[in-house]
């Protein structure tokens, strides 16, 4: 099944069950307290509260998302920065006649995964919230019973603590609640949230009179399990990009798998973020974009990729997605321009300074250092302009770490010794 077919099956399934299909919102959310859109429910957050939804109380969408919390995990089988989230949502239960809660939400997910997508039960495990004494929330017995009634054997259902089976809020405050998750082949694929509480700024949970459902299923992970791929990078959402990187046979694929994965993920994230209006800068969203682009550059050098890989890969990415996000094609020129400008800015630093740092880190390692000395890290930042993150990345690649305490102490020391400004002309990466 192609990703196009999977998208269609998902949307058709919910449309048939009375859900209004809503297009993805931008990656830059309305909510000022978050940098990027990280979940499908974000654009509907207000409908869980007092605002009435103009679309009725049942919605489904495929939402572009960007999350940087897992950025260091990118390169393994399933973690990404940019991804799409398939979701169905329900508001104002039980007051609104067209709303639903646990029973229908779980039944829908079971029907779609088991009956429509045909995933055999032996590949499925379920998690349910075990409750939390501190917040006085009891075990989610209702979800457990619903799963059992659908034929999931009890030994396939496990209980998760608040850190794993309770979701939200996004931003400073908002709806949140216990979750039940579908895991396929050990990978968490679908998160079903029951919004039963409002979490206020003081982090108190207040029970909601009108409850809601918010589900999120990572498209890339679903495609991976349905296409029987070993990783998200071997699905039709990624393989054209990887093929493009390998096009000129410039590097050894086996030993560089991690880097080609990081490049393809970050490129994709960059294309979408720029297309949604973000420009590289030293602050907030722009800073994240800048970090992504600089990482692409650093790794692309390792793979001997020449600058023309950029244009070809950006085109490939746009081709995969243009049917769903027509803006990408309109913004292609702009996207390339931003990438190219940023590449030029970083080029000097990259070709002169980064190889030196890589060599130094290697030497620290050979000399038996456990950590890169704080003074060294401080110096690369303040006098060369290469920020802690980049040194940290290089250190990690070589199996070492930075002692951040020591770096902070160095910074303090230098602030005291001289009141020399922090060399603002240098970009901290
Ligand atoms: N909001 C939940 C999540 O992001 C479910 O959609 O996982």
Q: How many helices (H) and strands (E) does the chain have?
A: 14, 11
Give, in order, the Cα–Cα distances in Å from 55 to each of 1, 21, 254, 293: 30, 9, 49, 38
- Centre of ligand 1 to C-alpha 195, Å, is 11
429 residues of the chain, pLDDT tens digit each: 999 999 999 999 999 999 999 999 999 998 888 899 999 999 999 999 988 999 999 999 999 999 988 888 899 999 999 999 999 999 999 999 999 999 999 999 999 999 999 999 999 999 999 999 999 999 999 999 999 999 999 999 999 999 999 999 988 899 999 999 999 999 999 999 999 999 999 999 999 999 999 999 999 999 999 999 999 999 999 999 999 999 888 899 999 999 999 999 999 999 999 999 999 998 999 999 999 999 999 999 889 998 789 999 999 999 999 999 999 999 999 999 999 999 998 888 888 888 899 999 999 999 999 899 999 998 888 877 788 888 988 898 889 999 888 888 888 887 765 443 333 333 333
**Pairwise CA distance, residues 102 & 161, whole Å:** 19
Is 40's C-beta closer than 6 angstroms to any atom of ligand 1?
Answer: yes
Residues 121, 152 contacting (CB under 8 angstroms): yes
**Among protein residues, the one whose CA lies closest to atom 1 of ligand 1:** 39
**Pairwise CA distance, residues 168 & 40, whole Å:** 12
Residues 237, 320 contacting (CB under 8 angstroms): yes
**Pairwise CA distance, residues 78 & 87, whole Å:** 19
Q: What are the beta bridge partners of residue 212? A: 195
CA atoms within 13 A on the CB side of 35: 13
Question: How, if at all, do strands 371-372 and 401-402 pair?
Answer: parallel
- Ligand 1: residue of 214, 217, 218, 222 to mutate (most ligand atoms within 8 A of CB) is 214
The model's pTM: 0.90
Atom of ligand 1 nearest to the CA of 39: 4
Instruction: Check residue 46 and report its DSSP letter.
Output: G
Is 41's C-beta closer than 6 angstroms to any atom of ligand 1?
Answer: yes
Is 263's C-beta closer than 6 angstroms to any atom of ligand 1?
Answer: no
**Among protein residues, the one whose CA lies closest to atom 3 of ligand 1:** 216
């Amino acid at each position: 099944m192609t990703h196009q077919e999977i998208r269609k099956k998902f949307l058709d399934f919910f449309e048939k069950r009375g859900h209004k299909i809503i297009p993805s919102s931008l990656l830059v959310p309305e909510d000022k307290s978050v940098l990027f859109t990280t979940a499908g429910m974000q654009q509907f957050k207000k409908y869980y509260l007092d605002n009435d939804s103009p679309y009725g109380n049942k919605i489904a969408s495929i939402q572009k998302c960007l999350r940087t919390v897992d950025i260091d995990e990118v390169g393994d089988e399933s973690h990404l920065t940019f991804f799409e989230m398939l979701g169905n949502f329900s508001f104002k239960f039980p007051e609104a006649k067209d709303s639903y809660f646990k029973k229908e939400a779980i039944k829908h997910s079971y029907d779609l995964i088991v009956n429509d997508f045909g995933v055999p039960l032996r590949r499925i495990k379920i998690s349910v919230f075990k409750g939390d004494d501190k917040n006085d929330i009891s075990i989610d017995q209702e979800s457990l019973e619903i799963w059992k009634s659908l034929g999931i054997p009890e030994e396939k259902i496990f209980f998760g603590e608040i850190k794993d089976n309770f979701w939200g809020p996004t931003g400073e405050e908002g709806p949140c609640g216990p979750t039940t998750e579908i895991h396929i082949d050990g990978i968490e694929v679908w998160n079903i949230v029951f919004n039963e509480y409002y979490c206020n700024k003081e982090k108190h949970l207040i029970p909601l009179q009108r409850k809601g459902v918010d589900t999120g299923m990572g498209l890339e992970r679903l495609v991976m399990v349905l296409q029987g791929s070993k990783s998200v990078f071997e699905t039709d959402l990624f393989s054209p990009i990887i093929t493009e990187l390998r096009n000129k046979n410039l590097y050894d694929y086996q030993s560089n798998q991690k880097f080609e994965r990081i490049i393809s993920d970050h490129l994709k994230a960059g294309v979408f973020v720029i297309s949604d209006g973000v420009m590289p800068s030293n602050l907030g969203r722009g800073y994240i974009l800048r970090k992504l682009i600089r990482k692409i550059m650093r790794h692309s050098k390792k793979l001997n990729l020449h600058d023309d890989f950029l244009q070809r890969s950006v085109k490939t990415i746009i081709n995969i997605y243009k049917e769903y996000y027509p803006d990408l094609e309109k913004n292609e020129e702009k996207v390339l321009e931003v990438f190219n400008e940023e590449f030029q800015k970083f080029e000097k630093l990259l070709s002169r300074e980064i190889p030196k740092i890589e060599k130094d880190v290697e030497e620290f390692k050979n000399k038996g250092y456990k950590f890169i000395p704080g003074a060294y890290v401080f110096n690369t930042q303040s006098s060369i302009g290469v920020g802690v993150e980049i040194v940290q990345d290089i250190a990690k690649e070589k199996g070492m770490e930075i002692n951040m305490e020591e770096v902070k102490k160095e910074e303090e020391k230098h602030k005291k010794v001289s009141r020399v400004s922090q060399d603002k002309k240098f970009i901290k990466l």
